[in-house]
Structure formats: C-alpha cells, structure tokens
C-alpha cells in the first residue's frame, strides 16, 4: 500500500513529468499517479507512457480515471468517486494491479464499502490551493472516512512535511501530494521529508496500538466469524483470511457486517476489529 | 404379423423460469451416508437439477468442504434452497448469498418456522417470494398443498409452485392428492411435488395427477441402496408422466369386462 503517492499533473509540476517522477521516487515516493482530468484518453496515455520506464520496479504507476489507458500501459488506475466500479477495473487489469478510488466524504466511503478498492484517496484533508474556499476534512473528517472505509485510506490535499503525521494519526495509511512536491525547488528532498514524517508517524501509531494490546495476541484484529470470536493478524484481507483457511477457490461467499461482498472485493478488503463475518458455502440439502 | 412401435407422445421439455430441462426428477443432496453414494445416486437418477443448502463453514472441521466439489456443473444445474430459514428476511438473505456464490438467479424458497412438522409459513414465503421476484430471481416456493396459496404465488410471478406431498423426510407419500389435483388444474406454471415421496409409486401418483416434476431427497439418500432407489424413482416419475400424457380411463363403480361377452364357448 502506498505510503507516499505523488501526483504528476500538467501545470502543477515545475519539471517535465518524467523528471518529476524520477525525483519523487528517488525521495521515497512509492506510487506515482498521472492525473490530467482535462485530457482525453489518448493524450493521457501519451503523457503517462514515458513515466512507466522511470518508475518501473521502484514504485507503482497509476493513471486517473481511464481504465483503458491503465490496461494499455499495464499500470494501476485511480477511479473518481462516482466512476466505474472497482470490479470493472479489476476485470480489465487483472489481479495484482493497484485500483484505488477518490472519495470526498465519510458517506461516500461508507457507500463504497463493498466496492473493494485497494485504497481510498480521501480529501481534501487540509486547506489547499486546489480547492480554495472549500472546508477541508480536517483530522476529524479524515477519522470519519477511515472509520467508514473498508480499504486503507490515503490522505490528500494540502499535505506537507508538517501535517503528514496529523493525517496518519487520524488513521491514514499514507499520504498523497501534488503541489508540495511538484512545485518544490527540490522535489526529491521534499518527498523524502514527507516520507520520513509518514514513516515516523506510522511507527508511532502502530507502537501505540501495540501498547494497548500488550496482553493479547501481538496487535491482533478481533473479528467474529460465523458467530465465533477470532483473532487475525493486523492487515488481514478477506482473501488472505480465506486462503489461510485453505478454502477451495470460489466455494465460499462472505458477508461482512451484513453486506454480501463481491468476490472481486476480497483482496482489497482489510478486516478491522469488530467486523462480523458470515462465511458460507453449499452443503447437501433437499 | 407386423410389429408396430409403441405409440408414444414426445414430451415437451420442462421449463422453469428461464431454464429448460428434459428430466422431470429433481434430487436433493442431503442426508447421504457418503459423498460416493451421493455421486452414484445423482448419476443413476438421470436428474438435471440438484438442490443444495447454504450453511456457515465450520472452520473447526478440517474435513468440511463444499458439496459443489462433488457435483459436476456440466451435468447438473444447481438449485440452491433456503432451508433452515425461519423468516422471510432470512430466506431473502440466503437467496442473495446463493446468487453471489454464482448459483444463478433462482432459488427454491423455504420459510419454515417449526421443526416438528417442517411445514412452510405461507405468509413469510409469500413475502419473501415477492421480494425475490422483484430482485430478478426465478422463485420456486415450497408450499403446503393449498390451491389458493398456489394461485397467489403464481400471481406474484413465481416460476413454479412446489406443494408438499407429505412432511419433509417422512416418506408418507402423497397424502393430499385431491388438493394437488386442484393445484395442477388451475396452475399455469409447473407444479413440482416436493417432499414426502417414499417409493416410486408415490412419485408416479403425483405425476399421474399432472405434476410437472417431483423433487426427492431422503427416499433416495437413506435407501439401503441409494443408486438403485434413484433409478427406481426415476422410473416411477417417467411412468407417471407417460400415464398422464396417455390419458387415464374414467373410474367406474362397477366392472366392465375386457373380453367380449358374446360367443362364449358352450353358451347360446
């Protein structure tokens, strides 16, 4: 899961986008999202294509919205809040490709609970030049998104080295930046500062969780499966849980907190403490 | 003397909702003593539709596995049921799970609140059927042999009605044939007699009365030789169906001699 996602967007980068991507990855970005909402698919593809070689093997590449372009480039896609279902992207891109989605509210995160995105890009987190005059989510809003979300949350909007830790303490698994890196005089240095802040805050947060859980299994996530309490390792996804139970492929169906999960959503759905699962299969019957 | 082939009528296929079948025997997959016996019996039955139930996976039982692993999807169409559901809400939930599992947009609907008689709740079944039909399911409701309820089920768009012959697993046969005849007479959807069939003659009786198909589970699964009983009941279903198509003679109060009454040897 990306901890530092850098957006490469025309007009918001001092450097040509391939150069920005190189700098960002050198500084510690582990994902680069090419975002150009004003461009058509052809132009987006032309813009993103040179970045593939730059980030290859070092960070994930994603494009905004266009599943067809992602498929052509063999990269991931970040879907808009009201865009295609994640299942559509997965069907086109195959397993193992990052599929994320932008959300702007806790309500949207809740609506998309069974969508199965690998991450939710939630914003805008802090006041930002991209959304002048609009109230940001702030730490409380971000916390609400994390609570409603079924996927890891990446905070976006007004993020810098000074407030990245605040986003992580609000429950974000990572942060995304546009101008802070793109418009910086030294993008690699700024990326490194933000990445360091995120890593430190994540250690701090997981350390705090460890303290709370000192007498129980090592930070285990407590869930209820088929009516029985069960502890699973933190970060366990539904597909990871099923694989751990050695269930034959495609034989089980999972209901999570009363909602039937689409099978495509299993890999992107992380179990959280208090989750109620019904895991059901077919048995003999008349 | 010339041999004449028996005059047979080619039977129409059995159409249930969006699906069509040539076999008129549906079989359940419960209560078999082993998976091997079940596989053999399913094959011997010649059935094209087999029912399954949905249950929580027992993670404490390492031998627990899906029944689907033992059913060839190329040979059989799986019909999920909502057995065990006591309310309309539970049945709708299980039907949706079955669909999510990939078992298709159809369901044998059971809403059974009591465990002693296992008699279906007509109101809960009707409510669940209405919801599921609206969600695009072909609904096959298990009902008491109540002609008026059967009509109501048909009115809201059920794909069949499945009146019970006698209580589930009882092997009492078809104890309410008069009611089933009425259901058949007024139905425009297939009538499937489900539950209570114990021997081939029970199945034949239901088919002779005009049932479009029978569903049998316990009588086969718990027979001393399930494979042989599956074959026998399939024969019973076929025999009853042929008799229905052939048209039975009216029942008379007195004898009617089969041989000429005239020219009897030694009589004027």
Check CB contact of B52 with chain A, cutoff 8 Å: yes
Calculate mean pLDDT across residues B18-34. Answer: 95
Q: Are A33 and A12 in contact (CB under 8 A)?
A: no
Query: Given this model, what pLDDT does residue A230 score?
Result: 85
Token digits of residue B183: 């259901």
Query: How many CB pairs (< 8 A) connect A and B?
Result: 102
Calculate mean pLDDT across residues B40-61. Answer: 93
Could you give phi then psi for residue B50, rounded to 5 degrees? -125, 140
Calculate mean pLDDT across residues B147-173. Answer: 94
CB contact under 8 A, A282 and B57: no
Question: The dihedral of CA A154, A159, A164, A167: what is its sign?
Answer: negative
Query: Given this model, what pLDDT does residue A200 score?
Result: 86
| Nearest residue in chain A measured CA to CA from B54 | A282
Query: Given this model, what pLDDT does residue B58 score?
Result: 86
**Residue of A235 and B127 predicted with greater confidence:** B127
Query: Given this model, what pLDDT does residue B134 score?
Result: 96
CB contact under 8 A, B65 and A263: no
Chain A neighbors of B57, CB-CB under 8 A: 226, 245, 247, 252, 279-281
Q: Is the peptide bond before B183 cis (omega within 30 degrees of 0)?
A: no
Could you give phi then psi for residue B213, rounded to 5 degrees? -165, 165
Query: Given this model, what pLDDT does residue A210 score?
Result: 47
Nearest by Cα to B57 from A230, A225, A237, A224: A225
pLDDT in tens, B228-261: 999 999 999 999 999 999 999 999 899 988 999 8
CA–CA separation, A47 and A205 (whole Å) = 37
CB contact under 8 A, A283 and B217: no
User: Which of the four pLDDT bands, split at 50, 70 and 90, describes residue B1?
Assistant: very low
**Residue of A234 and B181 predicted with greater confidence:** B181
- Largest pairwise CA distance in chain B: 86
Query: Given this model, what pLDDT does residue A249 score?
Result: 62
Q: How close, in Å, is residue B30 to chain A by CA atoms?
A: 4
Query: Given this model, what pLDDT does residue B207 score?
Result: 97
Active site residues of B: 108
DSSP letter for each residue of B87-115 = SHHHHHHHHHHHHHTT--SEEEE-----T
Query: Given this model, what pLDDT does residue A202 score?
Result: 85
Q: How close, in Å, is residue A102 to chain B by CA atoms?
A: 26
Check CB contact of B76 with chain A, cutoff 8 Å: no
**Which of B65, B69, B100 is opposite residue A253, by nearest beta carbon?**
B100
Rounded to the nearest angstrom, the gap between the alpha carbon of residue A133 and the centroid of all alpha carbons in its chain is 26
Query: Given this model, what pLDDT does residue B59 score?
Result: 83
Could you give phi then psi for residue A143, rounded to 5 degrees? -60, -40
Averaged pLDDT score across all residues of chain B: 92
Query: Given this model, what pLDDT does residue A201 score?
Result: 87
The residue ranges of chain A whose pLDDT is under 50 are 210-218
Q: For residue A228, what are the β-bridge partners?
A: A225
Nearest by Cα to A34 from A58, A57, A59: A59
pLDDT higher than 70, residue B111: yes
| Nearest residue in chain B measured CA to CA from A251 | B66
Nearest by Cα to B102 from B68, B72, B70: B68
- ipTM for this model: 0.87
Q: How close, in Å, is residue A229 to chain B by CA atoms?
A: 12
H helices present in chain A, as ranges: 17-27, 41-55, 67-73, 86-93, 106-111, 138-148, 164-169, 179-182, 187-212, 238-244
């Amino acid at each position: 899961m990306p901890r530092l996602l850098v957006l490469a967007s025309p007009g918001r980068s001092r450097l040509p986008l391939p150069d920005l991507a190189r700098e960002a990855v050198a500084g510690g970005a582990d994902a680069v999202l090419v975002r150009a909402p004003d461009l058509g698919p052809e132009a987006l593809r032309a813009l993103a294509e040179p970045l593939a070689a730059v980030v290859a093997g070092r960070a994930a590449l994603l494009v905004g919205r266009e599943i067809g372009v992602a498929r052509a480039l063999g990269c991931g896609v970040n879907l808009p809040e009201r865009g295609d279902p994640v299942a559509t992207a997965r069907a086109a891109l195959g397993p193992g490709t990052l599929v994320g989605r932008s959300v702007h509210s806790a309500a949207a995160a809740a609506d998309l609970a069974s969508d199965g995105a690998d991450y939710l890009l939630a914003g805008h987190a802090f006041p930002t030049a991209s959304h002048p005059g609009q109230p940001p989510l702030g730490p409380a809003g971000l916390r609400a998104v994390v609570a409603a979300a079924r996927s890891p949350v990446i905070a976006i909007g007004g993020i810098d080295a000074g407030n990245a830790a605040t986003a992580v303490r609000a429950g974000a698994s990572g942060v995304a930046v546009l101008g802070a890196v793109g418009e910086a005089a030294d993008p690699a240095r700024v990326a490194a500062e933000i990445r360091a802040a995120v890593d430190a805050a994540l250690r701090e947060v997981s350390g705090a969780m460890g303290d709370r859980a000192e007498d129980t299994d090592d930070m285990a996530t407590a869930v209820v499966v088929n009516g029985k309490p069960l502890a699973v390792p933190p970060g366990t996804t539904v597909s990871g849980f099923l694989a751990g139970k050695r269930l034959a492929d495609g034989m089980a169906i999972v209901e999570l907190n009363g909602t039937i999960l689409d099978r495509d959503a299993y890999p992107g759905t992380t179990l959280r403490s208090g989750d109620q699962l019904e895991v059901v299969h077919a048995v003999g019957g008349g | 003397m010339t041999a004449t082939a028996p005059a047979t009528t080619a039977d129409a296929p059995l159409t249930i909702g969006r699906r069509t079948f040539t076999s008129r025997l549906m079989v359940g997959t419960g209560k078999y003593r082993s998976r091997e016996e079940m596989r053999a019996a399913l094959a011997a039955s010649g059935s094209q539709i087999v029912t399954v139930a949905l249950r929580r996976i027992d993670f404490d039982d390492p031998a627990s596995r899906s029944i689907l692993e033992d059913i060839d999807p190329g040979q059989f169409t799986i019909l999920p049921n909502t057995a065990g559901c006591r309310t309309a809400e539970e049945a709708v939930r299980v039907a949706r799970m079955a669909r999510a599992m990939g078992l298709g947009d159809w369901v044998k609907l059971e809403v059974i609140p009591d465990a002693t008689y296992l008699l279906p709740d007509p109101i809960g079944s009707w409510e669940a059927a209405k919801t599921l039909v609206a969600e695009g399911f072909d609904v096959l409701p298990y009902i008491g042999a109540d002609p008026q309820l059967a009509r109501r089920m048909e009115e809201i768009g059920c794909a069949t009605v499945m009146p019970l012959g006698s209580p589930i697993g009882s092997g009492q046969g078809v104890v309410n044939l008069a009611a089933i005849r009425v259901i058949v007479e007024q139905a425009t959807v297939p009538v499937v007699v489900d539950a209570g069939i114990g021997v081939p003659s029970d199945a034949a009786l239901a088919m002779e009365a005009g049932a479009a198909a029978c569903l049998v589970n316990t009588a086969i699964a718990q027979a001393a030789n399930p494979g042989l009983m599956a074959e026998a009941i399939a024969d019973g279903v076929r025999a009853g169906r042929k008799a229905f198509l052939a048209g039975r003679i009216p029942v008379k109060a007195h004898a009617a001699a089969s041989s000429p009454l005239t020219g009897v040897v030694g009589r004027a």
